[in-house]
Amino acid sequence: MTTTSTRRAVARAAVIAAATSLAALTLASPASADETLIGQKYVGIDDCSRFNQGSGQICPTGTPNYNLIQYAFEANQPSIKVEFTANANHCADMIAHLYFDGTEWGSNIVHPGQTDGGYEIPIDRSGHHFVAVRAEGVLGGCNTGTVSAWGGTIRVWQLT
């Protein structure tokens, strides 16, 4: 290589390295607040047939405060993070509907053994709260139109 072409190659490599570094910095997840695990609880239903009505894809059925699997806790910080992880032995995906203090906060498709990504939830008052999960079936795998069982773990962190 000549000196000019060497300089161009070095300059090109420097530009590529700078662009790559900038892209990595841009895509990096933001620094999170300090998290303190409040607790975790295994939740699930081993026989949805006692709850399923209609399509059979919702387990348990009922209003948001009826038959939901709940985890109660005390919180005294301005926000919490809640995450649901589905059992690895699920044979189909599910939609995990997450409820906070009786109101649906969000929902996400969860693959076997995977999390729903978690939710940061602002707390308007210190004290007693609860989170709950309701499963909605997704056709595929062993799900041919009815959810027969589901389970997983709810984890709750206080954010400071």
Query: What burial letters (b/e) apply to 102-127, b meaning 16+ CB within 10 Å?
Result: eeeeebbebeeebbbebbebebeeee
Share of the chain above pLDDT 70, in %: 71
Q: What's residue 61's pLDDT?
A: 64
- List the end-to-end C-alpha distance of the chain, in Å, as a whole number: 57
C-beta atoms surrounding 134 within 10 Å: 24
Question: Does residue 10 surpass a pLDDT of 60?
Answer: no
Q: What's residue 30's pLDDT?
A: 41
CA dist list (Å): 108 to 15, 127, 139: 40, 27, 15
Give the tens place of pLDDT for each residue, 127-143: 999 999 989 999 999 99
Mean predicted confidence (pLDDT) in 38-42: 93
The per-residue pLDDT of the chain, averaged, comes to 79
- Bridge partners for 44 per DSSP: 151
Question: Does residue 113 surpass a pLDDT of 90?
Answer: yes
**Under DSSP, is residue 69 helix (H, G, I), strand (E, B) or coil?**
strand
Question: Does residue 154 surpass a pLDDT of 90?
Answer: yes
Q: What is the pTM of this model?
A: 0.74
Query: What burial letters (b/e) apply to 15-41, b meaning 16+ CB within 10 Å?
Result: eeeeeeeeeeeeeeeeeeeeeeebeee
Which of these ranges, 9-18, 37-46, 96-105, 123-132, has the smallest mean pLDDT?
A: 9-18
Question: Does residue 19 surpass a pLDDT of 50?
Answer: no
- Bridge partners for 150 per DSSP: 45
Q: Which residue has the higher pLDDT, 65 or 56?
A: 56
Q: Determine the number of helices (DSSP H) and then strands (DSSP E) in the chain.
A: 1, 9
Is residue 150 within 8 Å of residue 59, measured between CB atoms?
Answer: yes
Q: Which residue has the higher pLDDT, 114 or 11?
A: 114
Q: What's residue 112's pLDDT?
A: 96
Mean predicted confidence (pLDDT) in 3-29: 42
